[in-house]
A and B are shown apart, each in its own frame.
Chain A
Amino acid sequence: MLDTEIRKKLSAIVGEKYLLDTPNELYAYSYDATPIHQAMPDAVAMPGSVEEVSAVLRLANVHGIPIIPRGSGTNLAGGTIPVEGGIVMNMNRFNRIYEIDKQNLTATLGPGVVTADLHQAVEAEGLFYPPDPGSMRISTVGGNMAQCAGGMRGLKYGVTKDYILGLEYVLPSGEVLRCGGKNMKDVAGYDMTRLMVGSEGTLGVITEITVKLLPLPETKRTLVAYYTNLVDAAKTVETVIASKIIPATIEFLDQSTMKVVDDFAKLGLPLEMKSMLLIEQDGPEELVVRDMERIAEIARQQGAAEVKLAQTAEEGAKLLAARRSALAALSRLRPTTILEDATVPRSRLAEMVEEVERIAEKYQVQICTFGHAGDGNLHPTCMTDERDKEEIHRVEQAFEEIFHAAIRLGGTITGEHGVGMAKRNYLDLKVGAGGIELMKRIKAAFDPNNIMNPGKMFASSGRRRVVVKR
């Protein structure tokens, strides 16, 4: 609970309507899409302007109250769990697109705009914002930016960081700053924009975002290839890219994932197959047709049992939508679903898939794998039951070994979900003790009182709150 005086001040800043602190309301912000982690905030504030954000931050900074910026709460690394209590700052009132600039090909918007709404708005103008994380119909651009979300078009178009040009952000001191802008070239000082992207709410609160747009590709085609084993699918990915074709999307699903996805989306997938690839190319008609023919040929040469081109745009869209539902559909199998995002250079994909299978076998846990094969970004997903402590322990051991395997193959512990709470104990594997030290010093420069999303990114800061027990 907040101190009565502080509560009064907070209410005066955001208005009583936008300050939530009843038991039900607090409970509803004690979780995000991450399994198992849960902790109660002391209050939820929903500011409506940058001035309000600034005033809330000043108040919190003086009193050392944690601030947890939040969009739609779809992140998978525990990034928005109020693990040390404090004020959840829900940014969903910043949900307006201020401008779509057709001369400069940019859009300027509030961080609370839902990603798919941005897609719709710019596509109506013949423009294109490529980042498309699995949760794009729910997640906000602010949340995507804070986690540097990826998505299915990463192979050809990159990820969120490649599209953020400028920001307005507020420091814990309440100071409002701007970085970047509409310039395609800008080397004035350190690149603060890049630093803020993926900072997981640990440095400041974003209040405005300027994104880069592209012309909307003329057309797109989708193809599926089915395999009787895993390795041929991985070989297809490597060969396509080695042939200098960069498809917009190459998604991989293993047999168990295919089964649950088919059960949800009723696609009629051949469930006797061991794996499938979903490949999409976009661009000018002739180029897309030519690429798709070559990709189909490569898939057949690499041992695909069947290659099918989607006949219509709707059919293609349906296949991709089904892939997006993979994570949630997998949760039908067991009560708890833990999804990770270990990533390797794409040439090591086949080895990584085999490693995951071996590790699942070793610890006797059920792991399905799907993911962005073109990016080497896999989503080994473990179906378990958080009520079974012994099994959860084996799951933790398995994931630890998966992280080590990814690093050994030249990869990383997290490709697109972020560190948050889920991987804070493994960050040193990737960046080393020196890297962590430097990052902590950067954070201290922004946030000397450590109020911004404490307990995330770095291994425990000591002041750990009891996680809500079931």
Chain B
Amino acid sequence: MEVILRAVELGLIFAILSLGEYITVKVMDSPDLTVDGSFVTGGCVCAMLTLAGMPNIGLAAAFAAGVVCGCMTAFLETKMKIQPLLAGILTMTGLYSINLRVMGGAPNVSLFAAPVPTLLSNPDTQLIVLLGAAGLIGLLLYLFFKTNLGLMLRACGDNENMVKSSSINVDNMKFLGLGLSNGLVALSGALLAQFQNFADVTGGTGMLVLGLAGIIIGEAVLRPKTIGVGLSAAVVGAVLYRLLYTVALQLGFAATDMNLVSAVLVAITISIPVLQRKMKEKRKKNA
């Protein structure tokens, strides 16, 4: 029971990561590799402020830091015309050094010595706080996507040519989308740091795929047609994935193998439609 509860809580933290990635992967239709860096940035910034006795300001600062990371990638992509994937990789690589600087050169920082309790310090209310956070962020995102600005952002990912010819500044939309996305990713990293009571500079490896796994599993379960269901699917998927992950660990998988499990899972899920089509064609030929 204890194990499952912890899995759900972790799942809700990663649900915020999935919600952030939903903006780039699903809405803007271009996966953003900044995530592996900005997730850690969120954790580092929040950890240092938590140690300084400001845990909640730490969460807000982590979000802001994430927004800045996203805007950096957007800057490289739009103003410097660097390919989206490379722009993300460049920011992520640079962030590694910045994250070490933020933590004063230490590769990891423990929060057990934090002077002020965080929102997640009390084990009895952890679940409620995380449920509230994931729910609230999901709801806010949903409402945002129904506003004029949100609609423009969605149209940008849907049909960039049309948007270009309709007096919307596509570059600004990329700043908005990447900024918001990485802000949420960093917030997720910050909550994880407070939850686990430590921040680690290598903690970001595989986060892009992990967030993606949540989105994809959610889609497989809920088959979303609208953006509201899509966002809910990202939350549900992230929690489900964490539960599966926990089961795998209980079955004796080494924790270090889990990145491979995530990658294989995402690869298989994405290839299912292609495999299905190939099977169909084969059957047609044989018939």
- Asked whether A and B interact, the reply is no
Q: Which residues of A contact B (CB under 8 A)?
A: none
Q: Which residues of B contact A (CB under 8 A)?
A: none
